[in-house]
Amino acid sequence: MNFNFCVLLDKAKRVDMYLSTLFSDFSRSYIQKMIDRGQVILNWNEIRKNIKVKKWDEISLKVITESLDVEPEKINLDIIYEDSELIVINKDYWVNVHPVPWEWGKKGTLVNAILYHCKDKLPSIGWISRPWIVHRLDKDTSWVIMVAKTDSMMNYLANIIKNRKIDKYYLAVVDWIITDKEFKIESFIGRDPNSRIKMTTKNPINPKIALSIWEVLKYIDDKYTLIKIKIETGRTHQIRVHMASIWHPILGDKVYGNLKTNKELLLKYWLKRQALHAYKLVLNLYWKRVEFMWSLKEDMKFVDFVELL
């Protein structure tokens, strides 16, 4: 996979630092190895890792896909639906979706569990990158996730997601009371120039438009608001960033949330992660409109939302 783009920094910055901020999946040391291997080209020339980039410089980045040697692992799956081509799973919030290329990161993931569950029923294309899971969310989000068991289903799902022909709905509990019953947020979202783990709406790197539509469902303890969200785009951390940008961060969010509020929630509800649940997917499947929906995980049952939907 190749990435070609233009630098939009106002101030010169080391290329390895800049790229590790832009591509949060890669550590700075991994970026340095890519530079040493000649995978990073600056203004049509190979470079050293300590060189600085400036505004309007052109960068070409070549990402080489590697096998992660993932082993099947017997892990219980909360399966909502399954047929010969597709599995729909209600993922626990503490489970990683994909392995990462170091030893401890190759176990206990959703991919390990799918390999064990499907055994020889998966297509014989081998484990290269992520051939079946066509959409993703943060580890600390519980959610309905689709897993393709065939090449044709994988291509179909990837295509409808790319063309926004699938509706995704979320539930979130946010800080403070939101008085507007319905509203939407449309903004540009991109990497935060000051943090490699954050996205932002303020002076983002490589910004892309993001649109989220919200509906207030109920208030909790006269302090928090339960909202239903439909996202029209799928930007990284989109819901979390949008809510933080209007001063209503998601409860339990360790990156964009309020530390004091998170501590209160831990003591009161024993909530150890962000109160965000991807609860419904609506799409065309086998020539008809279908809906996959599943309930909240135990740690978010204090919301009690079923009668509202």
138 is catalytic: yes
- Please enumerate in sequence order all residues whose Cβ is within 8 A of that of 1, keeping only pairs 6 or more positions apart, or say none: 62, 63, 65
If you search the block for the tokens 């309007």, which residue do you land on? 56
Query: Structure tokens of 80?
Result: 């909502």
- Please enumerate in sequence order all residues whose Cβ is within 8 A of that of 243, keeping only pairs 6 or more positions apart, or say none: 172, 174, 249, 250, 256
Q: What per-residue confidence (pLDDT) applies to 101?
A: 58
Residue ranges of domains in the chain, CATH in brackets:
2-62 (3.10.290.10), 79-162 (3.30.2350.10), 167-308 (3.30.2350.10)
Give the residue among 78, 84, 121, 79 at the shortest CA–CA distance from 285. Answer: 84
Residues in the chain, total: 309
- Classify residue 102 as exposed, middle or buried by CB count within 10 Å of its CB (0-12, 13-18, 19+): exposed
CB count, 10 Å around CB of 273?
Answer: 21
CB count, 10 Å around CB of 48?
Answer: 11
CA dihedral 17, 23, 29, 30 (to 10 degrees): -150
As a whole number of angstroms, the distance between CA 278 and CA 293 comes to 9
Reported pTM: 0.72
For residue 41, which amino acid is it?
I
Give the residue among 28, 46, 27 at the shortest CA–CA distance from 37. Answer: 46
Q: What per-residue confidence (pLDDT) applies to 242?
A: 97
As a whole number of angstroms, the distance between CA 4 and CA 58 comes to 7
The whole-angstrom distance between residue 114's C-alpha and the CA centroid of its chain comes to 19
One digit per residue, pLDDT tens: the chain, 309 residues? 688 888 888 889 999 988 888 876 677 778 888 899 899 999 988 888 889 999 999 999 887 755 556 788 898 998 999 998 999 998 887 777 777 655 555 788 888 888 888 876 665 444 344 447 766 667 778 778 888 888 788 878 888 887 889 999 999 999 999 999 998 999 999 999 988 889 999 999 889 999 999 999 999 989 999 999 999 988 889 999 999 999 999 999 999 999 999 998 888 888 889 999 888 999 999 999 999 988 777 778 777 654 444
DSSP annotation string for 185-244: EEEEEEE-TT-TT-EESSS-EEEEEEEEEEEEEEEETTTEEEEEEEESS--TTHHHHHHH
SS3 content of the chain, % helix, strand, coil (to 5): 25, 30, 45
Which is catalytic among the residues 138, 175, 253, 299?
Answer: 138
